[in-house]
Amino acid sequence: ASYDMGGHDTYMHKEISEQPDAVDRVLRGRIDDRFSTVHLGGLNLDPREARTIRRIKILGCGTSYHAGLIGASLIEGMARIPADAEPASEFRYRNPVVDPDTLYIAVSQSGETYDVLAAVQELKRKGARVLGVVNVVGSAIAREADGGVYVHAGPEVCVVSTKCFTNTVVAFALLALHLGRIRDLSVTDGKRIIEGLRKLPAQIEEILKTEDEIKSIAAEYAGAQSMMFIGRVRGYPVALEASLKLKEISYIHAEAYPASELKHGPLALIEPALPTVAIVPDDDLLEKNRAALEEIKARSGRILAVAHQPQAKADHTIVVPKNEDELDPILMGIPLQLFAYHTALAMGRDIDKPRNLAKSVTVE
Ligand code: G6P
């Protein structure tokens, strides 16, 4: 690709830095303050149809799958429609039941990932309604879908996805709000979410300003053989994505677990040489998450927390600004992009072109 790096050393750094503007773009022109909802011009789904949806199934690969997991929880939370996400490749190969009351949503930065495209084509052949949440306008998946939401992240060059991940999650928040306001979400909650969405660009800007601190924290973890990432409910997909980012560009083995599952296995691995990154939002699960930190500390595990306030049990805390509970995952992922970046940089990795990976996988 021939886009200017704009003074950054890598595309990844450029793309991380662009996030306040990118989020601004996905919001622009879509918010309707009068009815506390959003307009999504390309959705192609009328309110009567939207009310008949009984389930939502989200399909994607890699980082887009992780964005879909957060999307499912946003939709379920705001629109109260049962929703889940699955890797498109798994879905394709297990001969899934295609249900007429289910709305299928394909997520893809490039819009060209073969496994996602093939899943969409199979769904359409079986008469399903499929929407796309796609970045590249006019791409194959965007064309196959019945409608959808463009993510407007702008061109993403680095093999690993950062700004597109964030924008995809914001696009899902818009879709969740839209569906929610057609169904049961109150005007008050609609307003609350809209206010939260509007705060995001400035809050991301604030997080980006802590880069030096994140860089010095990363220097302490750069030699690790392996790292554990934990989160609970909304925090779990954040942990999954942060662990993927770290392994893709640093080649440090990283695995993500729901915090509640620690005691069912991975606790056996905890020792000083296996640091844990914990997602600890200030919400109704805070005490539960703190208990997990205590479990880890009791086994002398090192802890890096991403939280809304310093965590006593953690060796380091990256403090992020608080938004609405539903939107917190969007912000909590961002410092961990910088964490992966600076860890990989300290290890001398080729950040924009990690070994063995491609930006889009257009073959089976
Ligand atoms: C490749 C890339 C990942 C990306 C995935 C899905 O594996 O290395 O960064 O998340 O494809 O790509 P898509 O374009 O469909 O979002």
pLDDT of residue 248: 96
Cα 268 to ligand 1 centroid, rounded to whole Å: 32
Instruction: Give the start-end residues of each E strand in the chain.
Output: 31-32, 37-38, 55-60, 83-87, 102-108, 129-134, 147-150, 226-231, 253-258, 276-280, 303-307, 316-319
pLDDT of residue 6: 87
Q: Report which ligand 1 atom has the smallest distance to the Cα of 61.
A: 6
pLDDT tier, 2 (very low <50, low <70, confident <90, very high otherwise) = low
Mutate to test the pocket of ligand 1, among 63, 116, 137 (most ligand atoms within 8 A of CB): 63
Contact 110, 132 (CB under 8 A): no
Q: Report which ligand 1 atom has the smallest distance to the Cα of 110.
A: 14
Q: Tell me the average pLDDT across 150-175.
A: 97
What does the H/E/C string look like for 265-327?
CHHHHCCCCCCEEEEECCCCCHHHHHHHHHHHHHCCCCEEEEECCCCCCCCEEEECCCCCHHH
Q: Report which ligand 1 atom has the smallest distance to the Cα of 60.
A: 15
pLDDT of residue 364: 82
- The pTM for the full model equals 0.97
pLDDT > 70? residue 222: yes
Contact 337, 162 (CB under 8 A): yes
Q: Is 273 in the pocket of ligand 1 (CB under 6 A)?
A: no
> Cα torsion at 364, 352, 328, 77 (round to 10°)?
-10
pLDDT of residue 250: 96
DSSP class of 199 = H
| Burial category of 186 from C-beta neighbours within 10 Å (exposed 0-12, middle 13-18, buried 19 and up) | exposed
Q: Is 119 in the pocket of ligand 1 (CB under 6 A)?
A: no
Q: Report which ligand 1 atom has the smallest distance to the Cα of 64.
A: 16
Mutate to test the pocket of ligand 1, among 65, 92, 109 (most ligand atoms within 8 A of CB): 109
pLDDT tier, 128 (very low <50, low <70, confident <90, very high otherwise) = very high
Complex confidence, ipTM = 0.96
Percent of the chain predicted with pLDDT > 70: 99
pLDDT of residue 1: 47
Mutate to test the pocket of ligand 1, among 360, 362, 363, 364 (most ligand atoms within 8 A of CB): 360
Cα 289 to ligand 1 centroid, rounded to whole Å: 30
pLDDT tier, 185 (very low <50, low <70, confident <90, very high otherwise) = very high
pLDDT of residue 350: 93
The 10s digit of each residue's pLDDT in 31-83 is 999 999 999 999 999 999 999 999 999 999 999 999 999 999 999 999 999 99
Cα 340 to ligand 1 centroid, rounded to whole Å: 17
* Cα distances (angstroms) measured from residue 221 to each of 36, 208, 216, 248, 333: 44, 20, 9, 16, 18
pLDDT tier, 188 (very low <50, low <70, confident <90, very high otherwise) = very high
pLDDT > 80? residue 181: yes
207 three-state secondary structure: helix
* Helix or strand (DSSP H, E) at 235: helix 235-250
How far is 168 from 139, CA to CA, in rounded Å? 16
The 10s digit of each residue's pLDDT in 224-281 is 999 999 999 999 999 999 999 999 999 999 999 999 999 999 999 999 999 999 999 9
